[in-house]
Amino acid sequence: MKILTAVWATIAVITLSVSAEEVTPAYEVFELMSASSPSDSRSKEWQPGDGITMEVSGMAWFKESLAVAIRKGEIWLIDSPLSLDKENITYRKFASGLHEPLGLTADGDDLLVSQRGEITRLKDSKGDGTADAFLTECDGWNVSGNYHAYAYGPERDGANNLWVTLNLGMGALTNNRIGWRGWGGTIGEDGAFQPKSLGMRSPSGMGRDLAGEMFFSDQQGTWIPATPIYHLRPGVFYGNQESVESLKMPGAPFQMASFPKANVPYPEALSSAPRFVPPAVWLPYNKMGRSATDIELIDQDGRFGPFDGQLLVGEFTNSAINRVFLEKVDGEYQGACFPFMRGLPAAVIRLCFSPQGQLFVGMTNRGWSSLGNRSYGLQRLDYSGSTPFAIQEMRAKPDGFELLFTAPIDAATLSDTAFAVSSYTYKYSSAYGSAEILTKQHAVSGLVVADDGKTVRFRVAEMRALFVHELRTSGIQSTSGAKLEYPNAYYTLNRIPK
């Protein structure tokens, strides 16, 4: 299949570090397609990349190809997607007629795809490269006809559970009182949806960590004061009270003795009802973007840079990608978030690694706006081997934090004001988002740089459990003179280590 358009022929470059110009950028951006072709999707000649509709909504590595679901309801197989020459990259339509697919997972020789009303197994039994069986893999949630009642997934955890999350309805035809809206669950053996936990709002992205535990992102809005990344697991409540009516349905896995107190600071609300859990990480609104989407684990043995074991998180409004470092304290996940890359051409909604360690970034501005000025895009990020200068890890300590940088730092740049820490929380209420509240500045002291030159410890006075601790660095440079492009980090200190 021939791919033309000259617009594609550029390899854009976005650098992670904005140091001296001669430094090789850490990630090279290869654009597979963009929204600038004049033909439309109903033309006989239409291919993804033409027209306005290559709006990525799901991605999975499938056999030797990249499978891409698009909002319009089609699945395309992209062959040779790792090629450096666009002429070699070809496109095959695998399936069509689907109802708003928003998730895609390979399962052996089949693909599993979410539609509004079900998870569907797509089989190519004749082996001709197109799906000929569309079998219901899982159903059992209510579909009221409200446009916002999306279904996401499935996503596989380390124990082979396939997770599905269900968006709340919002606006006309909404019915969140029945049918597991605002719930997450797994696919049962009989194909029935097994509700596991509730209190979600718009849980549009899932992904597992190295240990196989599942995480999901949610959207700031009613009951959700800022952008959260939660540990997805059975038996818990994530805070959105618009999902609680389904507890009255047969099949509810548990009951809640009480619901959290509203209009109080988040830490107080958390202690006011059992099962109510905080996010592992808050992504402070505006500072880290506005709308988290897909979660993708970096498990590439260094082929994607120094961030193995961490999670990448798509960012819709700001057309960006963020990075999350997690650690366990008292058996519960918490950690820090950092910006990873900005300036992508459209809203980032799906992320997918190739088996060789290249990251595909699927984008669409569908439904909301973003800073990206293309309506969709599909790009590939290839690691150049040049280590970006960044805060790689931020760990909580009983009396402060420990930072690991990706490269040795220049001790001369560590001034007294190199690290500033403030903390805040949010108000838990039915209102749409919350300002940061109870903000406090903390004294920082006891700066120690380890022998490796990359590890820095410092003490923070009066750290507060369940508060976000915002770290602002200034002036820090690596020994080779690189500056931090993203000097700040945000640690969600649910528990202070002992």
Partner 1 sequence: MKLRRSDQKIQPPPVRSVTKPNLVWPSFLRLFRYSIRPFKATIGAVVLYGGVFTSAVHAQPHVVGYARFHSEKPTKEGGALLFSELACANCHGGSPVKISRKGPNLIDLGQRIERDWLVKFLRKPESGRKGSTMPSMLHGLKDGQIEAVVAFLGKRGKGIKFRTERHANAERGSALYHEKGCVACHAPTVDFKSPHGNGDSFDLALAISHPDLNAKTSLEALGLFLRDPSKYRVDGRMPHIQLNTQEAMDVAAHLMDFQASDPREAVSVKEWPKVGVKLVAEGKALVQKMNCAACHSIPEVTPLDVIPLKSTGLTHCLSSEPQAGTPHYKLTKSQRESLILFLEAQDEIEDKTGHLTLSAMNCYACHDRNGVGGPSPDTNRFFVGNEALGDSGRLPPPLTGIGHKLKRDWLIGALAGEPEKGVRPYLKTQMPAYAAHASTFADWFVKIDQKDGVRTLIDRPDDLEAGRKLLGINGGVNCITCHNWGDQKALGIPALDLSSLNERLQPSWFRSYLLNPAEYRPGTLMPSFWPEGHSSIKDVLEGDSERQIGAIWKFIKNGEGLPEGFANRLGGQFELLPRDRPIIQRTFLEKTGTKAILVGFPGEVHLAFDGDSGFLSMVWRGRFFDAYDTWFTRAAPFGQPLGDEVYEVPKPGTKGRFRGYELDEGGNPTFIVNRGGREFRERFSVAEGQLIREVRWVEGDPPKLRHPKNVLKSEASGENILTYTYFWK
The binding site for partner 1 (CB under 8 A) comprises 35-36, 40-42, 52-53, 71-73, 96-100, 115-118, 120-121, 131-136, 139, 143-148, 170-172, 191, 221-223, 241-242, 244, 259, 262-263, 286, 290, 317-318, 365-371, 373-375, 429-433, 435
Residue type, 75: I
In the complex, least distance from residue 222 CB atom to partner 1, rounded to whole angstroms: 6
Question: Of 174 and 477, which CB lies nearer to partner 1 in the complex structure?
Answer: 174
Question: Of 73 and 453, which CB lies nearer to partner 1 in the complex structure?
Answer: 73
Question: Of 53 and 186, which CB lies nearer to partner 1 in the complex structure?
Answer: 53
Question: Of 41 and 354, which CB lies nearer to partner 1 in the complex structure?
Answer: 41
Cα angle value 319/323/326 (rounded, 5°): 150
End-to-end CA distance of the chain: 60
In the complex, least distance from residue 315 CB atom to partner 1, rounded to whole angstroms: 12
Q: How many CB atoms lie within 10 A of CB 178?
A: 13
Extract the tokens encoding 284: 């402070």
Residue 232 and residue 206 in contact, taking contact as beta carbons nearer than 8 Å: yes
Question: Of 323 and 374, which CB lies nearer to partner 1 in the complex structure?
Answer: 374
Extract the tokens encoding 80: 């040779």
Q: How many CB atoms lie within 10 A of CB 131?
A: 23
Q: Round to whole Å and give the CA distance between 103 and 291.
A: 17
Q: Round to whole Å and give the CA distance between 130 and 76.
A: 10
In the complex, least distance from residue 482 CB atom to partner 1, rounded to whole angstroms: 23
In the complex, least distance from residue 343 CB atom to partner 1, rounded to whole angstroms: 9
In the complex, least distance from residue 15 CB atom to partner 1, rounded to whole angstroms: 16
In the complex, least distance from residue 433 CB atom to partner 1, rounded to whole angstroms: 6
Give the single-character DSSP code of 9. G
Question: Of 201 and 459, which CB lies nearer to partner 1 in the complex structure?
Answer: 201
Tokens 């052996």 locate to: 108
Q: Round to whole Å and give the CA distance between 430 and 427.
A: 9
Question: Of 42 and 498, which CB lies nearer to partner 1 in the complex structure?
Answer: 42
Q: Which residue, 292, 258, 293, is CA-closest to 276?
A: 258
Order of strands across the sheet with 359-364?
27-34, 376-383, 359-364, 348-353
Question: Of 31 and 393, which CB lies nearer to partner 1 in the complex structure?
Answer: 31
Q: Round to whole Å and give the CA distance between 77 and 56.
A: 12
Tokens 């690694």 locate to: 353
Tokens 């605002």 locate to: 182
Question: Of 89 and 200, which CB lies nearer to partner 1 in the complex structure?
Answer: 200
In the complex, least distance from residue 434 CB atom to partner 1, rounded to whole angstroms: 9
Question: Of 87 and 132, which CB lies nearer to partner 1 in the complex structure?
Answer: 132
Q: Round to whole Å and give the CA distance between 27 and 344.
A: 13
Q: Round to whole Å and give the CA distance between 61 and 81.
A: 10
Question: Of 366 and 459, which CB lies nearer to partner 1 in the complex structure?
Answer: 366
Give the up-direction half-sphere exposure of residue 105: CA atoms within 13 A in the CB hemisphere: 24
Q: Round to whole Å and give the CA distance between 406 and 455.
A: 9
Q: Round to whole Å and give the CA distance between 260 and 464.
A: 21
Q: What is the dihedral of CA 126, 128, 133, 139, to 10 degrees?
A: 130
Question: Of 36 and 384, which CB lies nearer to partner 1 in the complex structure?
Answer: 36
In the complex, least distance from residue 489 CB atom to partner 1, rounded to whole angstroms: 20
Residue 404 and residue 455 in contact, taking contact as beta carbons nearer than 8 Å: yes
In the complex, least distance from residue 410 CB atom to partner 1, rounded to whole angstroms: 28
In the complex, least distance from residue 208 CB atom to partner 1, rounded to whole angstroms: 27
Give the single-character DSSP code of 485. S
Tokens 């099962």 locate to: 275
In the complex, least distance from residue 148 CB atom to partner 1, rounded to whole angstroms: 7
Q: Round to whole Å and give the CA distance between 98 and 170.
A: 22
In the complex, least distance from residue 247 CB atom to partner 1, rounded to whole angstroms: 11
Extract the tokens encoding 120: 């569907």
